[in-house]
Every structure is written in structure tokens, then in C-alpha cells.
């Protein structure tokens, strides 16, 4: 069966990038690889809109998140966690694992945090050393107001802002330096359109001061060691060489495209899909949706997992269901990865067919035509 | 320039495996991927000669080593570290990072630990919860007697044996269960002949009891979470999907070949190279050499780094130099990775040429012919 992947990671990878990654391996301690690393690090700064160093870790995104907690904080420190979904919970769990006192701002799943909630939490806990938040909460499809949160945190000398932008960086505008985002994490298997295995973390000057003081136990994820390694044009430990070689290709494409076109591309796929959702009489789950993914509520009486299953098993299309408390209630289509308008048309057509099979009547082509119209009007 | 890699990791990867890895990505939470994971885990048990569960982590080998320390021990615990090179030092540093009191058995670099040294350390520190050792110390080329150390540690109820077999597993015989090796770590970029990015850890029943009690902070590297994930035929966090797909191919090849032929293959490349070293009038650095790599002392007055540089820049061949205190004093050729007898012939010929250029006179073909003779006699 011909297969398509439109899940929020792993994602479709450009065959050209896959082919570059499948060239014979080169040694990680060689001038050839140092040159690649230096180029990649430069292009990461372009993507991140930052002058901060971007550290490259060999792990999934969760490894990068852990690195933030263990490299910025010490046991007994206090941190504010925005918990509005599964990945917000992860910040909170990470703090607990490292003996950091987590002050959770609990948000109903599907809602975004309000900047004033962060402000209030900081007023109640002025000794909080960090605010942990998602740019985009992948489990609910919600976009948090990190620019506004940046305004609040940057006024405080003793607090850093740590943003999980794993499924947001490269999708829509994130101005790391201008917005005062001290530490920003991403992963290879999201908008960077690569297989999983890399996590990237940018660290601001303000955050480096926290890193120097942090006493949490750590070894493999060590920002100071990685910073020294950057100076020697290498990495602290053997990196995922082939992924970094793939990353160079992707970033080169991004650079040639320019950030505006990159963000417009995702917006276009997202808006068309969202028009189709309305046309099919369906509801989006998030109250503040992002252009990273479209999260659709399963119609009453229909299990979202069945939609996912029919698409995967009968139509060859991988989308994602809900996680944890949202299991069965939603299904999610990604707009990042190596995708274009035709992929969205396919996904929408398949959803129309699956829903009809499951007993929810949609006129064939209803969603598809709404997306087509949007695409035609927004070339 | 046509390029060859014969470094002790990253290694040459079979083009067929690279091509399988470059197929379109599949989702990590899908029945297709679960099937692959289950097959890989079964074949890992075959390779490890164990019934213990083999956990797959997305990280380099150092991540797997950290996972052993943080998942088996608590701050304040005591552990014995065999320190006979750079990777032995890593065990010791890892213990220190996690507040574990490290009792180091310091061995001169190039020497192997004696089993009675471990026995003595355990008598002096009967409360040591773990013994950390390398099967093969990649920085010096020394093979440690882990079978004998296994005999010693398995008699002690309150101590586990943790073996870094990163550059040994798959190269020569390691009987995890029979020898009582409680926890055994390996990495993808060594004899598994894949790009870097995966670490694999086997955990014995005895070790699981330690895992349940261990209080070190951890999140990303969590054995209990990974064990639960095994039961659900998945991984705790997004794994390096393409590397696991490559791993399936490599393990399938190993299974078809059988372990004896696999070990004989490495032994053959190693013995031939070692014959060539003697024929060239050179000395091996390690006193107890392994079949994983051949470590050659740079002749007096010659910097080993120059040999490495000429091979890489002028001849297209990547071998490795010495690390830390051995920098300049040695150079290292790997026998694992996708290599055959002709690769060894090439490496030896290139070394003959490089040494002559650097002023150490070797008759052309002296080393090559010694290797040829060995290969011919040991088909």
C-alpha cells in the first residue's frame, strides 16, 4: 500500500534529504564533520532568530526538555510550569524528578494560558527560578502566548523563560531574542522534517548564568560541556552524525526559502484544513489553534481512534489520535514535515470517507472543495 | 576522493542497510513499528545471549552508561569503577555526577584489570552496590576479563555487575546470562554497524531489584518506564525510528550468519592486522589486545596524529588517533563495521606509505604480505 504520514512527528522526510543521509558515514571528529556542524549551528541561529548558541543533543525532544531542567536548576529550586496538556505535564514531572518544586498553572486542556496567569504566579512565587511553557502544546493543538510571557519574564532578573518549541519552531514566527526567550528546545522530527533523534536547545546569556550555578546531577546532557565543544567545533559525545547531515540539507532549504515563506507555507496548509473542518460540520478542539496541526473533535458517538485506524489500515495514511484524557475524543493532522497542499486534500478526502463509513454523514467533496477554494484563493 | 572509514565508531555502514533506513518514515506508535520493535528486541536477546529484556534508548553510548548509574543507584551509594582508560574514567565521572561514591581501581593505560583486583576491592568495600567495567576499553584497545569478574560479582547478592560492551558486543563472545553480567550496554555505531544514535541496555532480574530501589533523579533514561513500554510493544519516548529500522536489518544479517561466524570474522580481520603490525616492526599498545580494534604505538619520533592526518587527507582513510594522555602516541584501526579483508589490506598499505613519508622506513608490502598470508591460511 502506498503510505503517507501526516502525524505530528515522526513526519514525512524529503527523499532528497533521506538520500543525503544515506551516504557513507563520516567520522564525528574530523575536519569535514566540524565544517558541517559549524554550518548547521549558524543556520540554526537563523531559524531560531537568535544570536544565542544552539546546542545539538542526541536524544528525542524529551531529552532536550530534561536537559533544561537539570542544567538550569538545583534541587529545592522553585519553577512555574504551564500545564495545559500532556507536554505541560512533562515539564511538571521533570521538575519533580529532579527535586525542583513545581508550581503548576493548570489550564483546561484545549485552552491557552493567559499571560496574566503567569504574571500572577510569578507575583505569588517571586523566587521561582524558571517558567516552563510550550510554544505549541502538541497534545491539544493550542498555541500559547509566548511573546507576551516573554515580556513578563524578561523583566525579572532571577527567572528564566524556557520554551518547548518542539512542534512550533520553523512552523510559525518565534523571535527568540526579540521576545526574550531564554531557552528554546526543538526536535528533529517536527518541522525540521527529519527522523527523530536530535534535540536542539538555545541558551541566552541570562540563562548561562543559571547554568553556571545549577547543581542538579547530570552528565550526558551537559550545557557547559557542549558549549566548550562548540568552541572546538565538535560535540561533547558522539552525535547522531547522519541526522546532523540531514539537518544541514533541511536548514539550507529553509535559508533559501526564507522564514516568511516557510511560515506562510504552514499557515496555508493549516488554514485550508481548518476551512475543510468547518465545511464538514466538525469542530476544532483547541480554543487557540496553531498552524502546526489541526485537531478535530470526533463527532458524537464516533471514536476518534477508529478514524485513525481506518486511515492507517485501509487508506495508508497515518494521522494521530488523542493522548491520555483525549484518547478517542480527537484526531490530529500535522501541517509540518515534507508536505504540500495535495497531502492536505488527501487527508481531508480520507477523513470524509472514514467518517461516512463510521456513520457520520458528510457529503463527499464537501471538505475537499473548501480546502481547494482556499488554496486557489491563496496561491 | 573515495573515502573509507575504519575508525572505532562511527563505522562503515552496509549500503543496503543505509538504503533501508532511507525509506519513508513510519510512525513510532503504529502496529507496523511495534512489529519491528518486537523483532529487534528478540534479535537483541540473541546477540546478547540473554533472556533479559534489552531496552532501546535514543542517545549515544554515554547516555546508556548514564542510564545505568541513575537507574541502579542512589546518591550516597558506593560503586567500584575499573579505570583503565578514557571510558573507565567516564564511569567514575558519572558516579561523581550522581553523588555516588566511586571507588576507582586505577590501572595503567594499556593494561587489563586482574579479576583479583575486583575481588580485593569488593572485600575492602563489601557495601559497594555496583561494579562498573568495560568489556573492551576502546581508548587503549584492552580487553578486560569480564567473564571472571562475573564469577566474582554473581556470588554477591548486594552488588551488580555493569558492563560497558559498547565496542565489544557483537565483536567477540559475550555470554550475558552465563557469565552473570547484570547490565550490559552497547551502542549502534560500533559492531552493530549503524550510524550513532541508539544505546541498548540489558537488565537482569537481580538488577531490576536495584532499579526498583534506586533514587537517583532521572526522567528521559528510565528503565522502569521503558520496561512498561516493552509490554505495550513501544518505547517510552519517540525513538530514533530510522536507526531501529536499520538495526532490524543488521540483526537479521547477524542471525543468518550465526554468532560464531560473526566473531570469527572479527577475529580474522584483527589477527591479520596484528600480524602486519609485527611485520612492520611496530608494537601494539595494549598488553591484552582485543579483536575489536588494533592499537599501534607510533614509532619513536613520529606523532601518531600525523599518521591519522595523512591517511585521512591524502589517502581518504579515516582511522583514529589516541585520546587524552595517548594523543599522538598511538593510532587505532577498527575491525568492526561493514568491513572485509580488503579494507584491512588498504589500511595496512596506507600505514606503510604514511610511515615512510614520516621518516619511519618500512619495506613496501611488508605488512600487507603478512596480512595476505594470514588471510590465505585462514579462509
What pLDDT does residue B31 have? 94
Residue pair B123/B153 in contact by the 8 Å Cβ criterion: no
Average pLDDT (A302-318) is 97
What pLDDT does residue B7 have? 96
Q: Which candidate in A7, A9, A25, A92 is best for mutational testing of the B interface (most B CBs within 10 A)?
A: A25
Count of beta carbons in the 10 Å neighbourhood of residue B69: 29
Side-chain half-sphere CA neighbours of B335 within 13 A = 27
Q: Is B255 exposed, middle or buried (0-12, 13-18, 19+ CB in 10 A)?
A: middle
Average pLDDT (A2-25) is 93
CB contact under 8 A, B24 and A12: yes
DSSP per position, B63-127: HHHHHHHHHH--TT-EEEEEESSHHHHHHHHHHHHTT-EEEEEE--TTPPPPHHHHHHHHHH-TT
| Partners of residue A216 in chain B, C-beta under 8 Å | 217
Q: Which segments in chain B show pLDDT lower than 70?
A: none
Give the SS3 label for residue B215. Answer: coil
Q: Which candidate in A238, A321, A324, A338 is best for mutational testing of the B interface (most B CBs within 10 A)?
A: A238
Find the CB nearest B99 among A58, A70, A217. Answer: A217
The H or E element containing residue A296 is strand A293-297
What pLDDT does residue B1 have? 87
Please list, in sequence order, all residues whose beta carbon lies within 8 angstroms of the beta carbon of residue B290, skipping any fewer than 6 positions away.
B136, B141, B142, B143, B168, B171, B172, B270
Phi, psi of B144, deg, nearest 5: -90, 155
Nearest residue on chain B to A242, judged by CA atoms? Answer: B195
| Partners of residue A189 in chain B, C-beta under 8 Å | 238, 241
What pLDDT does residue B163 have? 98
Q: What is the pTM of this model?
A: 0.94
| Partners of residue A196 in chain B, C-beta under 8 Å | 28, 58, 238-241
CB contact under 8 A, B22 and A23: no
CB contact under 8 A, B217 and A98: yes
Q: What is the ipTM of this complex?
A: 0.90
CB contact under 8 A, A237 and B187: no
Q: Angle CA(B303)–CA(B307)–CA(B309) in degrees, nearest 5? A: 105
What is the rounded distance in angstroms from the CA atom of residue B144 to the CA atom of residue B81? Answer: 13
Find the CB nearest B12 among A11, A25, A240. Answer: A25
- Beta strand pairing call for A130-134 and A78-83: parallel
pLDDT in tens, B206-247: 999 999 999 999 999 999 999 999 999 999 999 999 999 999
Residue B24 C-alpha, separation from nearest chain A C-alpha, in angstroms = 7
Find the CB nearest A62 among B5, B60, B220. Answer: B220
pLDDT in tens, A238-255: 999 999 999 999 999 999
Q: Report the first-to-last Cα separation within chain B, whole angstroms.
A: 31
Count of beta carbons in the 10 Å neighbourhood of residue A47: 23
- Beta strand pairing call for A136-137 and A101-106: unpaired
Nearest residue on chain A to B309, judged by CA atoms? Answer: A30
Give the SS3 label for residue B33. Answer: helix
What is the rounded distance in angstroms from the CA atom of residue B65 to the CA atom of residue A353? Answer: 49
Find the CB nearest B238 among A3, A18, A61. Answer: A61
| Partners of residue A11 in chain B, C-beta under 8 Å | 25
pLDDT in tens, A97-127: 999 999 999 999 999 999 999 999 999 999 9
Residue B195 C-alpha, separation from nearest chain A C-alpha, in angstroms = 7
Find the CB nearest A318 among B30, B59, B75. Answer: B30
Residue A155 C-alpha, separation from nearest chain B C-alpha, in angstroms = 31
Side-chain half-sphere CA neighbours of B11 within 13 A = 27
Give residue A1's pLDDT band: very low, low, confident or very high (50, 70, 90). Answer: confident
Find the CB nearest B62 among A220, A312, A318. Answer: A220
Nearest residue on chain B to A236, judged by CA atoms? Answer: B62
| Partners of residue A320 in chain B, C-beta under 8 Å | 27, 29
For the record, the C-alpha cell of A12 comes out as 514525512
CB contact under 8 A, A63 and B25: no
| Partners of residue B30 in chain A, C-beta under 8 Å | 312, 318
| Partners of residue B60 in chain A, C-beta under 8 Å | 58, 220, 237-240
The H or E element containing residue A274 is helix A259-279
CB contact under 8 A, B189 and A238: yes
Count of CB contacts below 8 A, A vs B?
178
What is the rounded distance in angstroms from the CA atom of residue B320 to the CA atom of residue B308? Answer: 6
Find the CB nearest B219 among A30, A94, A241. Answer: A94
What is the rounded distance in angstroms from the CA atom of residue B328 to the CA atom of residue B323? Answer: 8
Side-chain half-sphere CA neighbours of A282 within 13 A = 32
Closest CA to B169 of B143, B139, B205: B143
What pLDDT does residue A13 have? 95
Residue A5 C-alpha, separation from nearest chain B C-alpha, in angstroms = 7
| Partners of residue A89 in chain B, C-beta under 8 Å | none
Closest CA to A132 of A198, A83, A62: A83
CB contact under 8 A, A238 and B10: yes
The domains of chain B, with CATH numbers, are 15-257 (3.40.640.10), 258-377 (3.90.1150.10)
CB contact under 8 A, A196 and B28: yes
Q: Report the first-to-last Cα separation within chain A, whole angstroms.
A: 31
CB contact under 8 A, B23 and A19: no
Helix axes A259-279, A241-257, angle to 10 degrees: 90
What is the rounded distance in angstroms from the CA atom of residue A320 to the CA atom of residue A5? Answer: 10
pLDDT in tens, B187-210: 999 999 999 999 999 999 999 999
What's the Cα-to-Cα distance from A336 to each of A15, A18, A170, A310, rounded to whole Å?
A: 15, 17, 9, 22
Amino acid at each position: 500500500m502506498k503510505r503517507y504520514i501526516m502525524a505530528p512527528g515522526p513526519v514525512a522526510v524529503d527523499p532528497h534529504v533521506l538520500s543525503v543521509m544515506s551516504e557513507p558515514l563520516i567520522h564525528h571528529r574530523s575536519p569535514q564533520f566540524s565544517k558541517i556542524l559549524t554550518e548547521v549551528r549558524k543556520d540554526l541561529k537563523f531559524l531560531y532568530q537568535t544570536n544565542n548558541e544552539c546546542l545539538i543533543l542526541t536524544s528525542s525532544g524529551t531529552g532536550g526538555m530534561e536537559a533544561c531542567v537539570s542544567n538550569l536548576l538545583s534541587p529545592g529550586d522553585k519553577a512555574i510550569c504551564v500545564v495545559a496538556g500532556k507536554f505541560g505535564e512533562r515539564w511538571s514531572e521533570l521538575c519533580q524528578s529532579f527535586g525542583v518544586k513545581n508550581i503548576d498553572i493548570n489550564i483546561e486542556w484545549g485552552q491557552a494560558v493567559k499571560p496574566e496567569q503567569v504574571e500572577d504566579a510569578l507575583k505569588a512565587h517571586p523566587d521561582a527560578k524558571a517558567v516552563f511553557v510550550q510554544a505549541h502544546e502538541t497534545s491539544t493543538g493550542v498555541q500559547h502566548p509566548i511573546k507576551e510571557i516573554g515580556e513578563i519574564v524578561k523583566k525579572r532578573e532571577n527567572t528564566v523563560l524556557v520554551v518547548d518549541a518542539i512542534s512550533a519552531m520553523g512552523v510559525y514566527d518565534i523571535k527568540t531574542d526579540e521576545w526574550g526567550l531564554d531557552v528554546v528546545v526543538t526536535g528533529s522530527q517536527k518541522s525540521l522534517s527529519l527522523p527523530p533523534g536530535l534535540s536542539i536547545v538555545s541558551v541566552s546569556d541570562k540563562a548561562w548564568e543559571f547554568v553556571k550555578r545549577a547543581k542538579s546531577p547530570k552528565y550526558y546532557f551537559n550545557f557547559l560541556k557542549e558549549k566548550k565543544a562548540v568552541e572546538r567545533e565538535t560535540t561533547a559525545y558522539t552525535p547522531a552524525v547522519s541526522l546532523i547531515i540531514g539537518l544541514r540539507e533541511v536548514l539550507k532549504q529553509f535559508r533559501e526559502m526564507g522564514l516568511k515563506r516557510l511560515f506562510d507555507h504552514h499557515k496555508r496548509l493549516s488554514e485550508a484544513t481548518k476551512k475543510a473542518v468547518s465545511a464538514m460540520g466538525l469542530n476544532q478542539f483547541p480554543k487557540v489553534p496553531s498552524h502546526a496541526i489541526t485537531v478535530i473533535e470526533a463527532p458524537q458517538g464516533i471514536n476518534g481512534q477508529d478514524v485513525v485506524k481506518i486511515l492507517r489500515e485501509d487508506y495508508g495514511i497515518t494521522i494521530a489520535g488523542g493522548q491520555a484524557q483525549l484518547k478517542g475524543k480527537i484526531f490530529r493532522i500535522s501541517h509540518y514535515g515534507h508536505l504540500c497542499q495535495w497531502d492536505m486534500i488527501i487527508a481531508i478526502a480520507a477523513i470524509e470517507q472514514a467518517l461516512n463509513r463510521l456513520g457520520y454523514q458528510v457529503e463527499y467533496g464537501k471538505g475537499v472543495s473548501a480546502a481547494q477554494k482556499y488554496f486557489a484563493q491563496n496561491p
